[in-house]
């Protein structure tokens, strides 16, 4: 029932059923529907206040305590609970129900005045920060002053009188900042806290987190009101966070953080350095044993690794929350493999526990183990992977510099929810406080960012913009490197190396290959990328962009000469068709045409030799796997920029070149200007080149066939697929296919060797998808180019909108995610579905794939599976992710059939 109760509320109910009410403090949940209604109307839904009062009364009867009672008060926590975990992004208020009267009753009832005063000051502090919006620094400064006055270092060393004075100081801060007194009435506190949790759903940090994680704005959050239990009652009490397995490696031993005489907020805030569970076992052995048993029960029940919040009150264990543990990719893979070995899960279910997107972290650099470096300091290894970059001290700086392309490391004493945008922009995170369950650690692991926490040797002066550590003063902009797998921090320029696929990861990929239907290829334009793709398990090349082979200083001149010669050739032959001349003029025309033809032939020959070598490298790396080669598809302005020819003409003039060279430079500029287009992405590109300049495509086809013939001669069996881009009309494909077939036949005859090949097309235009049945009659395969299909279907220029307004669309909730990251299923996705269905209706043997960037996005891969495609193609580093995502889609489909 997590859609209605939120993840926390649903799991609290489930934990109560599994472990019993004596282990889970009682309470009630306000549904996500109430939050949605509140957001729509701007006010608490009618009747909700009465229902809350009834629920409070039920809780009072169950506990034998009353909210705000002067003798034995009931205290509650008010906590958020979205349907999917958003750690630290939404608000929480603890100790609700205390005032000047009830705090006296709490002190008398427990015989622990310090505990009562501490709970009261925590309520005023959290209420002021969360409900009233007062900066947390004002309260922390007051605490620091109180400790300084008392001459102590720790919060726990403050006495009851100090805490009472702090509470008064906090109330005065509230009065100064808001003009209102802190509310003494517990029901008023509760109403305000519920509103604050609802409002936190649309807080900046929550919105930013949802944008980064693709969580819809429309879900809303539940609110959980739960009886308080207290870990701050003394040395027989404490709070912590436990994981059923090691949250970094996935090893099958529970781990976590624990603080004696503390509430849960102390553990997760990162303000205090924590102990581990072994230390808890030494201090509170009975509670520790009960915790380990409960962790085992919960993991077996949920069939997944759990993240559990707990409190020990006077040696009695209480569990406050369980949720599926956020863990880095290496831990997710280890858990999946171990879960199958332990008969906890089957292969399909184990694969389903892995967030495919997070596997990217296993494919990132690490410190070179062969290189020595000086360790400046060490902290807690909180999120794996290594990173280098310039120090920045704020999330805003990380966003600014990271957005400009600079590698940065976000360095903070501890992080808060407001820093989430900086996590996305930074290469790594470094904090001086906190442990594995701190905000920094949790968010970094969720985002796949390397993170080192709790590096206590670091004295981070945010105001001064400097880090003092072991005799060094590190300022903003200085380079630093961190290893989130070992906790090491260094100033040395340690080389980063590419990772290797572990045995566990290889096992997971083997399972994925057993279970998936969708094939996975890679986009690769050179032998190096092809080799990487094959190493990552690609089953062929789904897109080789031949225009990318033309970039490079050694080819730039040849390409420009070819395109200029091609346009001259086109104009010359156009004149041949139109002009009727006398004999003398005809001889001159033939001479000029012969010169143009020779320049064009020479340019084509030079590029043909280069392309043949390129293709031979690809065929060698892929051997007997299919290689789909897209013929030339560049907007001409990429190869004939007017600015280049203007600069060339100016250089010719400056060096005083002869008339012939000057005339050629002027002619080149004239042609470039004439070929310039107002909207080149929808201009002379793709198959239109085959219509205007057939010899270009003929040259490429000959190079492909010659390279394949050479590979065959060497004992390889290349599977050649020639793809024609940007088809809108079936007649375009019919004509272009004839060009390809003729050139291929000539090349086969010249090679004296058969080269099996197929000819297909990219579907990148809405019209092509709608008339796919007509196009399919002339195609052996379809490949959806979803990058351009998204642009043409939505009327968006990717290069422009992503920098200008697409982010605003996400912020405003117009769209949940960029359509260039995840396929727009209702629009672009429907075009893919229609194109596939209509194409196969006309050609039952039609093979259908996709080669846009969406081919490496797990959500999009799931859609392509459901749409019935045969394969996806993505960048080499996304191939393992796509393999797992394809298997997960097949598993989900099978499970849905069983459920139905």
Distance of CA 838 to the CA centre of its chain: 34
The answer to whether 672 and 566 are in contact (CB under 8 A) is no
Which 3 state secondary structure label does DSSP give 99?
coil
Confidence at residue 417, expressed as pLDDT on a 0 to 100 scale: 61
Active site residue 174: no
Residues of the chain with pLDDT below 70 are 270-271, 417-418, 436-438, 442, 445-448, 551-554, 575-585, 637-638, 799, 802-803
The closest of 710, 690, 538 to 628, measured between CA atoms, is 538
Interaxial angle between packed helices 186-200 and 32-41, expressed in degrees from 0 to 180 and rounded to the nearest 10: 80
Q: Which two tokens stand for residue 600?
A: 């064009």
d(CA 575, CA 593): 10
- Cα separation values, 45 from 10, 34, 50, 51, 195, Å: 22, 7, 10, 11, 11
Which 3 state secondary structure label does DSSP give 179?
coil
Nearby residues of 345 by Cβ (< 8 Å), 6 or more positions away: 303, 336, 339, 353
Of 364, 439, 757, 865, the catalytic one is: 439
The answer to whether 730 and 752 are in contact (CB under 8 A) is no
10 Å Cβ neighbour count for 29?
23
Which 3 state secondary structure label does DSSP give 680?
helix
In the chain, what's the furthest Cα-to-Cα distance? 120
Q: What share of the chain is helix, strand, coil (3-state, %, to 5)?
A: 55, 15, 30
d(CA 879, CA 359): 10
Q: Which two tokens stand for residue 458?
A: 């670091």
Q: Can you give 781-800 as a three-state secondary structure string? A: EEEECHHHHHHHHHCCCHHH
Confidence at residue 580, expressed as pLDDT on a 0 to 100 scale: 55
Q: Which two tokens stand for residue 95?
A: 């100790």
Active site residue 676: no
> What is the 8-class DSSP label of residue 275?
B
Confidence at residue 801, expressed as pLDDT on a 0 to 100 scale: 74
d(CA 877, CA 865): 20
Q: Which two tokens stand for residue 137?
A: 């620094």
Confidence at residue 797, expressed as pLDDT on a 0 to 100 scale: 82
> What angle is formed at CA 742 by the lines to CA 740 and CA 743, rounded to 5 degrees?
65
Nearby residues of 657 by Cβ (< 8 Å), 6 or more positions away: 665
Strand 255-260 and strand 238-243: the pairing is antiparallel
10 Å Cβ neighbour count for 15?
24
Q: Which two tokens stand for residue 260?
A: 């004696």
Q: Which two tokens stand for residue 780?
A: 């052996």
Q: What are the φ and ψ backbone dihedral angles of 461, each rounded to 5 degrees?
A: -100, 95
Which residue has tokens 């001409």?
Answer: 636
Which residue has tokens 């442990």?
Answer: 435
The closest of 563, 527, 562 to 544, measured between CA atoms, is 527
Q: Where are the alpha helices (DSSP H) in 413-552?
A: 420-425, 439-447, 503-515, 527-535
Confidence at residue 690, expressed as pLDDT on a 0 to 100 scale: 87
Confidence at residue 446, expressed as pLDDT on a 0 to 100 scale: 56
Of 851, 854, 865, 874, the catalytic one is: 851
The closest of 391, 395, 375 to 440, measured between CA atoms, is 395
The secondary structure element, H or E, covering residue 378 is strand 377-378
> What is the 8-class DSSP label of residue 44?
P
Distance between start and end Cα atoms, the chain: 19
The closest of 874, 518, 527, 541 to 722, measured between CA atoms, is 541
Distance of CA 714 to the CA centre of its chain: 43
Confidence at residue 369, expressed as pLDDT on a 0 to 100 scale: 74
In what order do the strands lie in the sheet containing 466-469? 459-461, 466-469, 472-475
Nearby residues of 801 by Cβ (< 8 Å), 6 or more positions away: none
d(CA 631, CA 757): 14
Q: Which two tokens stand for residue 591?
A: 């001479």
The answer to whether 8 and 79 are in contact (CB under 8 A) is yes
d(CA 289, CA 231): 17
Strand 519-523 and strand 871-874: the pairing is parallel
d(CA 798, CA 791): 7
10 Å Cβ neighbour count for 282?
10
d(CA 789, CA 795): 10
d(CA 67, CA 786): 58
Nearby residues of 42 by Cβ (< 8 Å), 6 or more positions away: none
């Amino acid at each position: 029932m997590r859609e209605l109760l939120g993840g926390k509320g649903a799991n609290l109910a489930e934990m109560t059923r599994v472990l019993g009410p004596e282990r889970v403090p009682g309470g009630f949940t306000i549904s996500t529907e109430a939050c949605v209604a509140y957001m729509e109307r701007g006010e608490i839904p009618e009747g909700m206040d009465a229902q809350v009062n009834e629920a409070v009364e039920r809780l009072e009867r169950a506990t034998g305590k009353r909210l705000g009672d002067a003798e034995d008060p009931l205290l509650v926590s008010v906590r958020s609970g979205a349907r999917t975990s958003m750690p630290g992004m939404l608000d929480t208020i603890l100790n609700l129900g205390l005032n000047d009267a009830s705090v006296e009753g709490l002190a008398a009832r427990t015989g622990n005045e310090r505990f009562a005063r501490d709970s009261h000051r925590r309520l005023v502090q959290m209420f002021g920060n969360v409900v009233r919006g007062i900066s947390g620094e004002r309260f922390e400064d007051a605490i620091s002053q109180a400790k300084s006055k008392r001459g102590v270092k720790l919060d726990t060393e403050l006495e009851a009188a100090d805490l009472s004075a702090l509470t008064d100081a906090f109330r005065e801060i509230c009065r100064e900042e808001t003009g209102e007194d802190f509310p003494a009435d517990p029901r008023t506190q509760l109403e305000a806290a519920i509103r604050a949790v609802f409002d936190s759903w649309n807080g900046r940090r929550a919105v930013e987190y949802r944008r980064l994680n693709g969580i819809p704005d429309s879900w809303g959050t539940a609110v959980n009101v739960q009886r308080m239990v207290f870990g701050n009652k003394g040395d027989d009490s404490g709070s912590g966070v436990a994981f059923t397995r090691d949250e970094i490696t996935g090893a099958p031993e529970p781990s976590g953080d624990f603080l004696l005489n503390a509430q849960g907020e102390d553990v997760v805030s990162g303000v205090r350095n924590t102990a581990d569970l072994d230390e808890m076992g030494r201090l509170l052995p009975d509670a520790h044993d009960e915790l380990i048993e409960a962790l085992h029960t919960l993991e077996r029940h949920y069939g997944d690794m759990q993240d559990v919040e707990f409190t020990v009150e006077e040696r009695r264990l209480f569990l406050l929350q369980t949720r599926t543990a956020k863990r880095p990719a290496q831990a997710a893979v280890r858990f999946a493999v171990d879960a199958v070995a332990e008969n906890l899960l089957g292969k399909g279910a184990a694969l389903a526990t892995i967030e495919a997107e997070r596997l990217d972290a296993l494919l990132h650099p690490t410190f070179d183990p062969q290189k020595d470096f000086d360790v400046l300091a060490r902290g807690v290894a909180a999120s794996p992977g290594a990173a280098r970059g310039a120090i920045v001290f704020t999330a805003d700086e990380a966003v600014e510099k990271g957005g400009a392309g600079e590698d940065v490391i976000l360095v903070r004493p501890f992080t808060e929810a407001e820093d989430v945008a900086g996590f996305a922009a930074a290469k790594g995170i470094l904090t001086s406080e906190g442990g594995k369950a701190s905000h920094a650690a949790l968010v970094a692991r969720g985002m796949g960012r390397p993170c080192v926490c709790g590096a206590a040797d670091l004295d981070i002066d945010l105001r001064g913009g400097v880090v003092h550590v072991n005799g060094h003063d590190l300022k903003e902009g200085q380079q630093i490197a961190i290893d989130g797998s070992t906790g090491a921090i260094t100033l040395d320029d340690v080389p980063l190396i590419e990772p290797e696929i572990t045995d566990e990861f290889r096992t997971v990929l083997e399972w994925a290959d057993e279970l998936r239907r969708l094939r996975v290829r890679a986009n690769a334009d050179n032998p190096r990328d092809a080799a990487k793709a094959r190493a990552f398990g690609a089953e062929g090349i789904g897109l080789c962009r031949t225009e990318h082979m033309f970039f490079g200083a050694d080819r730039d001149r040849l390409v420009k000469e070819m395109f200029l010669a091609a346009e001259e050739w086109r104009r010359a032959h156009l004149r041949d068709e139109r002009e009727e001349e006398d004999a003398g003029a005809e001889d001159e025309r033939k001479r000029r045409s012969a010169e143009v033809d020779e320049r064009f032939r020479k340019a084509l020959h030079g590029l043909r030799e280069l392309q043949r070598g390129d293709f031979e490298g690809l065929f060698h790396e892929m051997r007997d796997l299919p290689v789909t080669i897209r013929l030339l598809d560049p907007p001409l302005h990429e190869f004939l920029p007017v600015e280049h020819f203007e600069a060339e003409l100016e250089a010719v003039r400056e060096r005083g070149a002869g008339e012939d060279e000057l005339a050629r430079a002027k002619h080149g500029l004239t042609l470039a200007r004439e070929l310039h287009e107002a909207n080149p992405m929808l201009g002379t590109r793709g198959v239109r080149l085959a219509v205007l300049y057939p010899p270009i495509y003929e040259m490429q086809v000959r190079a492909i066939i010659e390279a394949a013939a050479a590979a065959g001669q060497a004992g390889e069996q290349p599977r050649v697929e020639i793809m024609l881009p940007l088809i809108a009309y079936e007649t375009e494909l019919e004509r272009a296919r004839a060009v390809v077939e003729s050139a291929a036949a000539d090349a086969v005859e010249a090679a004296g060797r058969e080269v099996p090949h197929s000819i297909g097309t990219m579907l990148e235009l809405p019209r092509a998808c709608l008339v796919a049945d007509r196009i399919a009659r002339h195609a052996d395969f379809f490949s959806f180019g979803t990058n351009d299909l998204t642009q043409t279907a939505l009327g968006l220029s990717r290069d422009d909108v992503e920098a200008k307004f697409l982010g605003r669309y996400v912020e405003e909730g117009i769209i949940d995610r960029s359509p260039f990251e995840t396929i727009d299923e209702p629009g672009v996705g429907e075009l893919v579905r229609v194109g596939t269905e209509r194409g196969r209706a006309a050609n039952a043997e039609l093979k259908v794939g996709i080669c846009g960037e969406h081919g490496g996005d797990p959500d999009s891969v799931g859609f392509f599976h459901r749409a019935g495609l045969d394969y996806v193609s993505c960048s080499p580093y996304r191939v393992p992710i796509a393999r797992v995502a394809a298997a997960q889609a097949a598993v989900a489909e099978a499970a849905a059939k069983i459920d139905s």
